[in-house]
């Protein structure tokens, strides 16, 4: 079962920061999950909320702020809101990444990013999963980059179980720990999809999900889930 650093390792460092991602790597995470928005000046930035208020010293809506404005706000432990390029350059292909599309236009923005991104290390597009609750954004991304894996998020129990995402031909289905069940896992596997569950921070939950055949879990403390 994959142990995925949810926004890095936020139990040990501020979420979605370079420090948090490095902590997750140090702790042995099999994959890193992060969230992206397109800011006002067009860059892709790594942050979970549509506003900076919760996680930084500033206030404002991400898509209405330029990169310079976003970089001017502070995060605990001396961290700043990173650009996507900074994060990928830090990870350097050491583990796969799950990039969640959060805001409008992120599908096109990330597709364009991939066309121009030239890292100074070996990078395999097979090591990327693009996920979202916004299935329309995922469809746009599928049309642009059909060869890259997709993960469809769902926060409840769809009436048709895993059928909600079939038009997207997803690699994985991502379900909340609140609603996951053996039935959802079995249905996804019957469709040929992986099952990833968020957010798992208790060992008894980890063990239960593993017994059901879940393929991976998102956690705030990879170190704890690997013990």
pLDDT of the residue at 35 = 98
Residues 57-87: tens digit of each pLDDT: 999 999 999 999 999 999 999 999 999 999 9
Would you state the pLDDT for residue 6?
98
User: Is the bond leading into 141 cis (omega within 30 degrees of zero)?
Assistant: no
Q: What is the pLDDT of residue 163?
A: 98
Statement: residue 41 has pLDDT above 90: yes
Q: How far is CA 6 from CA 100, 130, 222, in A?
A: 11, 14, 8
Mean pLDDT of the chain: 97
The DSSP element (H or E) to which 125 belongs, if any, is: none
Q: Which domain holds residue 217?
A: 2-226
The reply to whether 48 belongs to the active site is yes
Angle, nearest 10°, between helix axes 18-26 and 84-91? 20
Contact assessment for residue 122 and residue 81, using Cβ atoms and an 8 Å cutoff: no
Burial of 207 (0-12, 13-18, 19+ CB in 10 A): exposed
Task: Report the largest interatomic distance among the alpha carbons of the chain, rounded to a whole angstrom.
Answer: 48
DSSP states of 90-122: HHTTSS-EEEEE-STTHHHHHHHHHHH---SS-
DSSP 146: T
**pLDDT per residue as tens digits for the range 161-202:** 999 999 999 999 999 999 999 999 999 999 999 999 999 999
What pLDDT does 125 receive?
A: 84
3-state secondary structure of 11: coil
Q: Give the per-residue pLDDT at 78.
A: 98
Q: How far apart are CA 177 and CA 185, in angstroms?
A: 12
The two three-digit tokens of residue 127, written as one number = 């090591």
Q: Which of 48, 125, 174, 189 is catalytic?
A: 48
How is residue 130 written in tokens? 């693009």
pLDDT score for 157: 96
pLDDT at site 120:
82
Is a pLDDT exceeding 90 seen at residue 210? yes
Distance in Å from the first CA to the final CA of the chain: 13
Distance in angstroms (rounded) separating the CA atoms of residues 90 and 113: 16
Res 121: pLDDT: 82
Q: What pLDDT score does 69 carry?
A: 98
Q: What is the DSSP letter of 51?
A: B
Query: How many folded domains does the chain comprise?
Result: 1
- The CATH number given to whatever domain includes residue 189 is 3.20.20.190
Q: In this model, does residue 122 exceed pLDDT 90?
A: no
46 pLDDT exceeds 90?
A: yes
Confidence band, pLDDT 50/70/90 cuts, at residue 124: confident
pLDDT of residue 123: 80
Q: Which entry of 6, 12, 174, 189 is annotated as an active-site residue?
A: 6
Residue 119 has pLDDT above 90, yes or no: no
């Amino acid at each position: 079962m994959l142990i995925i650093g949810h926004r890095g390792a936020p139990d040990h460092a501020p979420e979605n920061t370079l420090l948090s991602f490095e902590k997750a790597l140090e702790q042995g995470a099999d994959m890193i999950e992060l969230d992206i928005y397109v800011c006002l000046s067009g860059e892709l930035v790594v942050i979970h909320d549509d506003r900076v208020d919760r996680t930084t010293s500033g206030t404002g809506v991400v898509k209405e702020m330029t990169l310079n404005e976003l970089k001017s706000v502070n995060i605990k432990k001396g961290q700043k809101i990173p650009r996507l390029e900074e994060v990928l350059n830090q990870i350097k292909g050491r583990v796969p990444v799950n990039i969640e599309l959060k805001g409008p236009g992120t599908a096109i923005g990330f597709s364009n990013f991939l066309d121009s991104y030239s890292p100074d290390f070996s990078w395999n597009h097979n090591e990327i999963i693009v996920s979202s609750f916004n299935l329309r954004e995922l469809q746009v991304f599928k049309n642009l980059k059909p060869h890259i894996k997709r993960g469809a998020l769902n926060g409840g129990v769809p009436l048709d179980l895993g059928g909600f995402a079939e038009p997207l031909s997803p690699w994985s289905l991502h379900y909340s720990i609140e609603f996951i069940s053996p039935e959802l896992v079995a249905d996804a596997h019957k469709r040929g999809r992986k099952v990833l569950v968020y957010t798992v921070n208790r060992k008894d939950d980890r063990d239960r999900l593993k017994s059901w055949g879940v393929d991976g879990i998102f956690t705030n403390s990879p170190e704890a889930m690997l013990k």
